[in-house]
Structure 1
């Protein structure tokens, strides 16, 4: 099982605020900026130019800004999280703005609910520090992605408060069958921590 207290704390490192009207309008036109780590935006070329009807799984990121941006851009978004209240907020936002967002309450260590080769992309920000073994999750993400699908993942690169090693976090993706072809590092100077972060783009 996953430590939900750590999830709440860790989610503060990611954006968890409402969209501005300008951001929403721009996303409707396919223009958006999304973060996997605290300060840097994901490179635009990590996303397809047109996300309309792309099936995207936002893994353990309920209530966060990127969900609404991706849905506003035309994607069909599924949010998988343990936080009931955040999922309800996502459902409310989707209803008010006529967006294709569905929510599933569950533990990311169990993705059996999802079919093989179903999603075009999985977006997983900073959700691994409290998981004993990340490799089974990488394998499940590989299973439920379509061939050519993208896995966008980020983690805290800290060995003092972390259960995984870089061999687990990067090598584990390749062991699961992914091909990593994007990488960047980041830091957070606003939360009074010394953590370093990284993000990867991997292809099935």
Structure 2
């Protein structure tokens, strides 16, 4: 079965492909569809954005699609950056810009509790089949720690490991991360629909 990953983000593609490896899938990305119009993520929830992206991409491509939306929710900042995590420091900002802004806003704050959340939507043209969620509790560090990963990985310390994502190997991160947890829940839905096509 062909499966479209609704993203052009190379880091995200690599991570999702590793998590889904072992399934009998031909994985495609937005890079295979250069004419696919940009999906405007204008919903106020992760689920709303993921479902919109999955559905519109499936309808354009004619291929079953998974899309995710991810947010880092910081308790002391009333849930910010939340749904705006990827553009927290402004449109076209870098990963580094986002980290610098967040660390600056957290300066002097003792409550550093945060959670990373991913919502994954699986859609066929005309219908969202399933939506799943993965959450990891943790905290924002006072400085960047580790040199792996991407996004906020170097400033988010996972509660269950006591280390930042950027200190973990890809294999370890892809076992416990918020995105991995959401994808593991959606895999049975993908397998079920893959079996239906045989």
- TM-score of the two chains, using structure 2 as the length reference: 0.29
Q: Which has the higher helix share?
A: 2
> Radius of gyration: which is bigger?
2
